[in-house]
């Protein structure tokens, strides 16, 4: 499909101009039958050219006929700014053709027009369609859809040009589809703004998404009702703020409500119904619940008219599921429904006038059971309830209280007042619970997207204060649209130096002055009338209105009507308001005895709703219109602080029939909303306006402009427009030159001025020029991102190589140091061993020399056994008792006796060490055992002479010298003895 924005800048007229001129704006003069085309040269408007039509084919009628001849192509106009000429007839025919083709969304400049099909179109709102619009680089290139407006607002929060909070204003008559549109918007944001990589965060987001979506059926069940114009009409206004964090993830929501029509609880017009929740309870309750609520299937309730009418909204299970998902427990749900059931029974309580006027009204016989059921369900004493309904308390003096019987009308008013105040508090508690359940901490979110869904413009056979407030709210929204777009935009063109021919539009400021103006208006006179300590008089109030407001052209009276009324000319048409009952509704009196009774209720929920009601009553003296006006003013402040996006819902037929288009119904709505004027201004002007600093901050990188950065960041002197203007012109020239590969000619450059205009402080752009700027900015950012990536990868590669070389050097140095340390340890150990060995050897040599010097030769040889002399060996005993060897050569004894025990004695520490060193080195494991007994026997010394035999000198040795060498067997003497004996002959 062709892009919508690409054709916004094109000339839709049939006038031929020179190549040096560009079309900036055009206006139609229907009286003279001519079109005025504003020409611009360079950066501004320089003149006007008028084209006079001489024939019918060239006239406006001819253009209109030529346009309307091609019926088959009318449904292809996705944007009504492409319609030429723009008249109510051409716009109406295009919308009709698109409606027949089942195309229900059409762009009208800055406004999206939505036609209600009055039947489900599921394929238009699937998750795949949401993702398609959300992921599209240019969603405007797709067919018009409510998701385009939603995505534009979402991307503006992300800061494409100026990050700012956004508001989507959904307006239209009752039954035009505002509630459904708001529901689609919330579903879209809950889907696209709920993606997260963290599982824990994903669970939180899904919980918030579920609760935000579940708040819709809950609020609609308690706040919507079936009216003459709409089966699901919102009887309250709501502004939903979807809270986003810095990553544009949905983290919470808050709901602000305005003027609940609580009178609907006790009064319903003909062929209308009460709030949906009552019918859901009647049709969807279980037998156990019916028994608990005293609601049999054949039970009829006065406040439940048209109960046999079945609607799609009569789904009790959906409401209870939504309450459960919101976190409302089953016990609390039961308390809420029990209170609502008590209100239904209260509606069947009626009175009859007494025989004596000094006595209270009589309770009708058929109402006694309903009164008892009401008292039991509300958990208040039946006698106290009856007394509060029939008697009113009068204060006599400071403390004394006198009870006066109420008239029949007063009893009915007090009964209705009790029901209204209870239902209003239940509704407010639900809103507070929803906000507490889904509202995020202020520190966790930074921006929001607001969705405004208010009651549509209403005009019934009988209109009272509720319709006046509802239509007043619609007037405020229309005035916001007029002030923000139709009026402010054209005035801004002139202030910025653009030559502009003003396009007339319907300004509703006069009607607002009539309702809320100063010093005298309808609201002020109504409040003054309510403050007077006298009975309300409708005729007297009408006379005062005629006297004070006769100069205002927006109010009129029918002097022949018997009912006091006044007629107000609203932007959407005239509405006649009945004065009777208006003062009582504005006072909204709540008797204190009713509040005190509810505060003493045994029902914990009902008691908690009114625990602080006395403080509210004492501190708030304002009336209904004053409170509503203040709340509406706070809403308008929020809207003025955000960037608005308008969606106009159109009701194709008053009967709400599927795919039925009635021209007379639609044309009135188009004229009332100012759609034609909006299209003319959008087609001729520049819908996008960006201040110079913000423009350079976003698009200055296209020409690498750095002069503006200090002033933007606040680190340098402020620059005036004379300095910033050349920078802006450089950026625009670069973008315009990049449109084609060949350098543009001068005439082509001047014709490009139809895309952009530089004012005194702002840049005025068309959508096509914005696309060019964004495309060029994207290319520049991609190019610079490539350079940054290239430089970073080069730097990272070089850094990695340097780190690798440094690591190798560090490893080599560490290894060398470790090896050097080990080698040094080895040198130290070897040196210590050598030193110790040399010291020990020197000490042994000194010891040996000293002992040899002290030796005494034995001159007398001992006598031995002959057997020993013959065999040359000693036969030692193998018994358990050891045999003591006194003088036999030690080496021979040890070699030949492996199983004997030898007891040896040595004296002095050095001798013991020498003996043990000799003996231990010659042992074989398990052969024999050597035990020393040095303190009893003792060895005198062990001497070793160089190149001589071993000399064992014992204290009682029978031998002079032991010079016999032992045999060299496998198991012979080894070790130190072997070393000492191996060279002995």
Output the DSSP codes for 1-43: ---SGGGSSS--S-----TT-EEEEEEEETTTTEEEEEEEETT
pLDDT at 89: 87
Residue listed under structure tokens 């998902």: 325
pLDDT at 2: 35
Coil, strand, or helix at residue 463?
strand
User: How many of the other CB atoms lie within 10 Å of CB of 310?
Assistant: 9
Specify burial of residue 360 (Cβ count, 10 A radius: 0-12, 13-18, 19+).
Answer: buried
pLDDT at 731: 84
pLDDT at 918: 55
252 in a labelled binding site: no
Task: Write out residues in the chain with pLDDT < 70, as ranges.
Answer: 1-72, 159-163, 195-205, 396-400, 613-622, 687, 705-722, 739-754, 851-985
CA proximity to 175, closest of 450, 458, 452: 458
CA Rg value for the chain? 53
CA distances (Å), 491 to each of 483, 673, 954, in order? 10, 20, 137
For residues 567 and 549, what is the distance between their CA atoms, to the nearest angstrom? 12
- Name 51's bridge partners: 35
pLDDT at 633: 92
CA distances (Å), 381 to each of 54, 335, 353, 386, in order? 87, 18, 23, 9
DSSP string covering 720-740:
-HHHHHHHHHHHHHHHHHTTS
Residue 5 contacts residue 687 (beta carbons within 8 Å): no
For residues 984 and 514, what is the distance between their CA atoms, to the nearest angstrom? 145
174 in a labelled binding site: yes
Classify each residue of 794-806 as buried b or exposed e, where b means 16 or more C-beta atoms within 10 Å of its C-beta: eeeeeeeeeeeee
Q: Whole-prediction pTM value?
A: 0.68
User: How many of the other CB atoms lie within 10 Å of CB of 982?
Assistant: 11
pLDDT at 31: 29
172 in a labelled binding site: yes
Q: Which helix (H) or strand (E) holds 444?
A: none
pLDDT at 796: 93
pLDDT tens readout for residues 504-520? 777 888 999 999 988 89
Within its chain, how far is the Cα of 914 from the centroid? Answer: 94
CA proximity to 450, closest of 230, 635, 667: 635
pLDDT at 26: 32
DSSP 8-state assignment for residue 174: T
Coil, strand, or helix at residue 451?
strand
Residue 520 contacts residue 549 (beta carbons within 8 Å): yes
User: How many of the other CB atoms lie within 10 Å of CB of 691?
Assistant: 16
- Contacts of 148 by beta carbon, 8 Å cutoff, 6+ apart: 107, 112, 133, 139, 140, 142
**Which tokens in the block code for residue 44?**
């501004």
For residues 985 and 983, what is the distance between their CA atoms, to the nearest angstrom? 7
178 in a labelled binding site: yes
pLDDT tens readout for residues 435-470? 998 888 888 888 899 999 888 888 888 899 999 999
177 in a labelled binding site: yes
Q: Which helix (H) or strand (E) holds 551?
A: none
62 in a labelled binding site: no
CA proximity to 919, closest of 959, 891, 889, 941: 891
pLDDT at 824: 92
pLDDT at 613: 67
For residues 599 and 593, what is the distance between their CA atoms, to the nearest angstrom? 10
């Amino acid at each position: 499909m062709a892009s919508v924005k690409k054709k916004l800048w094109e000339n839709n007229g049939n006038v031929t101009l020179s190549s040096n001129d560009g079309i900036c704006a055009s206006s139609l003069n229907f009286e003279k039958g001519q079109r005025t085309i504003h020409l611009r040269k360079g950066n501004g408007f320089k003149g006007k050219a008028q084209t006079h039509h001489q024939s019918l084919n060239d006239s406006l009628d001819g253009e209109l006929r030529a346009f309307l001849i091609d019926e088959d192509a009318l449904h292809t106009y996705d944007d009504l700014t492409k319609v030429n000429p723009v008249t109510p007839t051409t716009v109406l025919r295009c919308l009709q053709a698109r409606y027949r083709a089942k195309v229900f969304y059409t762009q009208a400049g800055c406004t999206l027009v939505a036609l209600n099909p009055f039947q489900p179109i599921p394929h238009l709102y699937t998750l795949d369609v949401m993702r398609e619009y959300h992921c599209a680089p240019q969603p405007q290139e797709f067919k018009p859809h409510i998701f385009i407006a939603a995505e534009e607002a979402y991307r503006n929060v992300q800061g494409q040009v100026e990050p700012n909070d956004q508001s989507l204003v959904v307006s239209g008559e009752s039954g035009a589809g505002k509630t459904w549109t708001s529901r689609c918007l919330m579903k879209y944001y809950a889907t696209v703004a709920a993606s997260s990589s963290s599982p824990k965060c994903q669970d939180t987001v899904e919980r918030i998404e579920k609760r935000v979506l579940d708040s819709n059926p809950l609020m609609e069940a308690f706040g919507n009702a079936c009216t003459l114009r709409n089966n699901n009409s919102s009887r309250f206004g709501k502004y939903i703020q979807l809270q986003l964090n810095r990553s544009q993830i949905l983290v919470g929501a808050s709901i602000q409500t305005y003027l609940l029509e609580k009178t609907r609880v006790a009064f319903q017009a003909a062929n209308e119904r009460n709030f949906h929740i009552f019918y859901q309870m009647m049709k969807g309750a279980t037998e156990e619940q019916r028994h608990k609520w005293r609601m049999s299937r054949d039970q009829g309730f006065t406040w439940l008219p048209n109960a046999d009418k079945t609607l799609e909204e009569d789904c009790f299970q959906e409401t209870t599921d939504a309450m459960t998902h919101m976190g409302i427990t089953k016990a609390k749900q039961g308390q809420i429904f029990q209170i609502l059931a008590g209100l239904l029974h209260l509606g069947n309580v009626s009175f009859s006038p007494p025989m004596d006027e000094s006595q209270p009204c009589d309770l009708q016989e058929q109402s006694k059971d309903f009164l008892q059921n009401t008292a039991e369900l509300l958990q208040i004493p039946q006698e106290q309830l009856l007394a509060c309904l029939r008697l009113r308390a009068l204060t006599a003096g400071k403390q004394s209280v006198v009870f006066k019987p109420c008239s029949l009308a007063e009893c009915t008013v007090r009964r209705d007042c009790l029901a209204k105040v209870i239902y209003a508090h239940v509704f407010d508690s639900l809103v507070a619970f929803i906000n507490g359940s889904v509202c995020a901490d202020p520190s966790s979110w930074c921006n929001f997207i607001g969705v405004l869904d208010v009651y549509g413009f209403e005009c019934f056979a009988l209109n009272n204060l509720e319709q006046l407030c509802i239509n007043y709210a619609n007037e405020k929204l229309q005035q916001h649209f007029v002030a923000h777009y139709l009026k402010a935009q054209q005035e801004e063109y002139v202030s910025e130096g653009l030559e502009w021919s003003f396009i007339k539009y319907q300004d509703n400021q006069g009607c607002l002055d009539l309702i809320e103006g100063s010093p005298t208006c309808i609201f002020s006179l109504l409040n003054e009338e309510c403050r007077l300590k006298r009975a309300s008089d409708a005729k007297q109030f009408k006379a005062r209105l005629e006297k004070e407001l006769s100069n205002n052209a927006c109010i009129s009276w029918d002097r022949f009507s018997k009912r006091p009324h006044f007629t107000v000319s609203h932007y959407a048409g005239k509405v006649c308001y009945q004065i009777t009952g208006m003062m009582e509704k504005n006072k909204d009196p709540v008797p204190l005895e009713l509040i005190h009774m509810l505060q003493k209720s045994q029902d914990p929920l009902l008691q908690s709703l009114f625990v602080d009601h006395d403080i509210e009553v004492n501190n708030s003296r304002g009336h209904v219109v004053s409170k509503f006006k203040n709340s509406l003013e706070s809403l308008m402040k929020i809207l003025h602080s955000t960037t608005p996006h308008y969606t106009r819902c159109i009701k194709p037929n008053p009967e709400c029939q599927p795919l039925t288009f009635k021209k007379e119904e639609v044309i009135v709505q188009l004229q009332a909303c100012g759609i034609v004027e909006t299209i003319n201004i959008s087609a001729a002007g520049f819908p996008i306006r960006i201040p110079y600093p913000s423009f350079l901050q976003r698009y200055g990188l296209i020409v690498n402009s750095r002069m503006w950065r200090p002033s933007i960041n606040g680190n340098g002197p402020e620059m005036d427009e004379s300095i910033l203007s050349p920078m802006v012109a450089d950026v625009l020239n670069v973008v315009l030159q990049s449109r084609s590969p060949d350098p543009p000619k001068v005439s082509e450059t001047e014709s490009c001025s139809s895309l952009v205009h530089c004012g005194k402080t702002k840049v005025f752009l068309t959508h096509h020029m914005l696309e060019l700027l964004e495309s060029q900015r994207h290319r520049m950012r991609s190019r610079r991102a490539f350079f940054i990536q290239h430089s970073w990868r080069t730097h990272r590669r070089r850094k990695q190589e340097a780190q690798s070389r440094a690591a190798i050097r560090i490893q080599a140095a560490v290894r060398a140091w470790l090896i050097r340390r080990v080698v040094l340890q080895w040198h130290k150990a070897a040196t210590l061993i050598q030193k110790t060995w040399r010291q020990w050897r020197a000490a042994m040599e000194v010891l040996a020399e000293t002992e040899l010097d002290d030796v005494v030769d034995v001159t007398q040889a001992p006598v031995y056994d002959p057997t020993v002399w013959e065999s040359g060996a000693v036969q030692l005993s193998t018994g358990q008792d050891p045999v003591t060897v006194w003088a036999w050569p030690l080496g021979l004894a040890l070699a030949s006796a492996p199983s004997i025990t030898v007891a040896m004695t040595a004296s002095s520490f050095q001798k013991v060490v020498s003996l043990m060193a000799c003996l231990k080195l010659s042992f074989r494991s398990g052969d024999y055992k050597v035990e020393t007994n040095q303190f009893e026997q003792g060895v005198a010394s062990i001497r070793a002479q160089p190149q001589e035999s071993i000399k064992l000198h014992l204290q009682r040795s029978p031998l002079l010298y032991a010079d016999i060498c032992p045999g060299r067997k496998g198991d012979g003497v080894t070790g130190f003895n072997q070393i000492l004996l191996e060279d002995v002959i």
